[in-house]
Every structure is written in C-alpha cells, then in structure tokens.
Amino acid sequence: MADTSLNPYIRAQQSFKEAVDTLGLEPAVFDILKQPLRTFEVAVPFIRDDGTLQVFTGYRVQHNDALGPTKGGLRFHPDVTADEVKALAMWMTVKCALLGLPYGGGKGGIACDVDQLSDREIERLSREYIRAVSLVIGPDKDIPAPDVSTNPQIMAWMVDEYSRIRGENTFGLITGKPLVIGGSAGRVAATGRGLVFATRQLATALGLDFAQSRVAVQGFGNVGSVAAEIAASLGAKMVAVSDKDGGLYNPDGIDMADLLEYKRTHRALAGYPQADPISNHELLELPVDILFPAALENQITADNAHNIQARIVGEGANGPTTPEADAILFEKGVMVVPDVLGNAGGVTVSYFEWVQNQTRFYWSEQEINGRLEEYMARAMAEMHKMHERYGVTLRKAAYLVATERLAQAMRVRGWLT
C-alpha cells in the first residue's frame, strides 16, 4: 500500500482535523473543510507549432468560499495532480484566513512541461485553459495568480483572453499581472518583504532586537535576496547567504549592496572575495539568531534539526522543515515562522492588487509596503497568542486561527445548522 502520510491532500485534512478537535468545534466544521467545495478537471486542447493537436489535463479547485471568493495560484508542471491541487487550495484557505483576507483558498494547474513548449505554444495553452475554466472563475468567484512555471506575461495573456470572452476589460480576474495592465507596485518584493515583517514581529515578542540580530539566508532567489536586503536595511547583520551552488559566510557581516552588485555582474555568489565559501548544509547550522530557509523543501530534517542554533527559523520556502524536524525544533525552543505566514506577503499584495483593480484606484509602493507590514504583524500577533494559549507550534497555531475564523463565517452564514 502507498504511504498516505506523503499525500499532501491527506496531510492537509489531518491538520484541519487537529485544529477542529483542539478548538472543540462542531464536527460539521471538519466535514466541510476536509474536501473542496468544487473541483474542476478540464481538457485543454491546443495546436502545437507544427500544426498537431495536443490535449493536456487542467485543474481548478475552489476549497472554501465562506470568507469570500477563492484565490490561488496556477502552476504549469508535469507532476500536477488532482490531490496536489486540492492540498494547495486547502493551504491557501488557511493562509488567507490567517491574514484576514476576504478570500477562500483556490488553486489550479496544468499537467505539462513548459520546457518542451515554445513561447507561442505557452500563450495558446494559457488562453485555452482560460476558455476551459471561464465559467467558474471571475473577480468575484475565483481569482488565479502566478505559481510554479507561470509568470506575469502568462497572466497577461489569460486576463486578455477572459476580457475578450466577457467583451470588457476585467483586470480584476487575475493578480500578479504586469504593472501596465493593473499589476501592483511592490508585488515582486512582497514575499521576501513580508517574511521579514513577520519575523521581526516575532522577534519583538520574544525580546530579540531584530536590528541587532545575526541572520543567515539559504536561497538567494527572489524571496531570499529581497529578505536579506530588507533585513540588512533594518539593521540586521547578514553573516551568510547561499544559492543552489553553495554559499558565503563572514561572521563580521556581508555588505548586501556590494554582494548584490557582485551577483548582478557575475550572475552567481561563488567567488565573492569578502566572505568564505560554505555549503548549504553548513549554513543551516551556523550560530545565528535568525535563519531564513528560502530555497527548497525538506532542508531542515530530523537529521540536522538538533544542530540548528538559530532562535527563529523564518520559512520563506514552501515546506523547508519536515514535521519531524518541526517537533524537534519546538522541543529545543526554536520558534518557526511557518510558511503559511512566512511567504504570505505575495497573496497579501495580490489582495491589494485586486482591490486596486476593482476600485480603479492605484496606490504607491510606500502605501503597499505599509499595509503589508500591518497585515503581517497582525497575523503574527494573533498566531503567537494562539500558540501561547494552547502551547502548540506556530504552525499549528496558524491552523487554529484560520479554522476558528472559517468556523465563525460558516456559522453566521448558516452552513453549520
């Protein structure tokens, strides 16, 4: 028999069950949350550049809309499955409820390999997908966004196709668009910036001065590099960073402006003269106050969790800490900002984008960043309060906050009677 513990859909169900039981909520709450309200599987036919027809399978899942229209990314990847998309939609429900966004969780995907498609083929595939799901999405129904192997250009093609179907510009259909057609200022840096805001809020609660902290960042992509740059601007000392090829360590601190310029010039971190080479594995175990794993999943495991010296682990990546490691860190007194909050800056600014699209009134980047900090700080405060009340990890506390909010919405709407 297959190991069901590895099925993300089953793990998401288990997390909701634990939250419902801990809060003492009606069993009906779990009965509703344990599965999506709607799951759509569609055939997506399109013409290849050589004139042949190919058909891919696409999905769109709307997990729960008690708090508002569903919201979530759309990924293009050969390993996309129905269970994966269901789990991702459930996690989006938690993320939106935790942040206090007026959304439920949604997610979509096409099982395809974009590396095997030309740009024109990707455009045709994107437009065909929107045609296939156009009746079940919309600014007040379900709002897609970029995810794995999708980007602002793909979102632009999709919103254009939907607008053609509707016969009017409907920019609020999708977030993560280019600025020129309704994208939001601050969206590109939102995830890394939100990670820093949430972590700084937790540091304050723990009596740790963020401005005096020593920080290591694993993963120097969009999330990690932004988090490193912003943390440094707030006074933190960046002592280590890494990318897929390895990292750099300088216990006296690394000048982020200088390093970013070096990377722009050399397109890599390797060879930077003001720090010593270090492996990704070694970086995780450095004597720092704050560790940002912002690269791949399953980086902190039962094998190395005992060696983590950071007081706070802020998850910029999805699932960088295994459940076994999570328990070890909790016993050690290491606080983990879970990914459901740590990388929620993206969906939060996506919400701001949607609001701007709906009102046709656009905010400055300064306004966006100020609102983002407010939302991240408030969510962290609520999550930390739940952590103290029930003596659970912040990850479990996130589910408690979200599930309680969802139950309240479903109760007043009459879904539980």
Question: What amino acid positions are annotated as catalytic residues?
Answer: 107
Question: What is the phi-psi region of residue 21: left when phi exceeds 0, alpha when psi lies from -120 to 50, beta otherwise?
Answer: alpha
Count of Cβ atoms closer than 10 Å to residue 47 Cβ:
14
Contacts of residue 50, defined as CB under 8 A and 6 or more positions apart, other chains included, come to: none
Q: How far apart are CA 339 and CA 142, in angstroms?
A: 23
Cα separations in angstroms, 414 against 39, 66, 102? 23, 10, 18
Please state the three-class secondary structure of 139-157 as a single string: CCCEECCECCCCCHHHHHH
Angle at 124 between CA 79 and CA 147, to 5 degrees: 40
Residue 33: C-alpha distances to residues 22, 81, 220 (Å): 15, 20, 36
Residue 356 burial by Cβ neighbours in a 10 Å radius (0-12, 13-18, 19+): buried
201-205: Cβ within 8 A, 24+ apart:
201/376, 201/377, 201/380, 201/381, 202/312, 202/314, 202/335, 202/337, 202/380, 202/384, 202/394, 203/289, 203/290, 203/312, 205/380, 205/381, 205/384
Structure tokens of 378?
């408030």
Classify residue 209 as left (phi > 0), alpha (psi -120 to 50) or beta: beta
